[in-house]
Amino acid sequence: MNDEMKKAAKLWIEDEIKKIEQNEIKAEWKPSLKFRIKMS
């Protein structure tokens, strides 16, 4: 993979993470937190 592709992939991943985080903030966070603790 060349540098341009790496940059694009990194930006896309960061964008996806931001979307997920925003959705999690909107959703009720307690069940998500309990689920995370169970998974870890």
> Is the entire prediction scored with pTM above 0.75?
no
What pLDDT, on a 0 to 100 scale, did the predictor assign at position 36?
72
What pLDDT, on a 0 to 100 scale, did the predictor assign at position 3?
95
For 3-36, the pLDDT digits (tens) are 999 999 999 999 999 998 887 776 666 666 677 7
Contact 32, 24 (CB under 8 A): yes
Cα(5)–Cα(33) distance, integer angstroms? 34
Q: How confident is the model at residue 2 (pLDDT cuts 50, 70, 90)?
A: very high
The sign of the dihedral angle between the CA atoms of 24, 29, 31, 32 is positive
CA 10 and chain centroid, separation: 12
Query: Kindly report the CA angle at 15 between 14 and 16, in degrees rounded to 5?
Result: 90
**Residue 2 per-residue DSSP state:** -
Q: Look-up: residue for tokens 């964008």?
A: 15
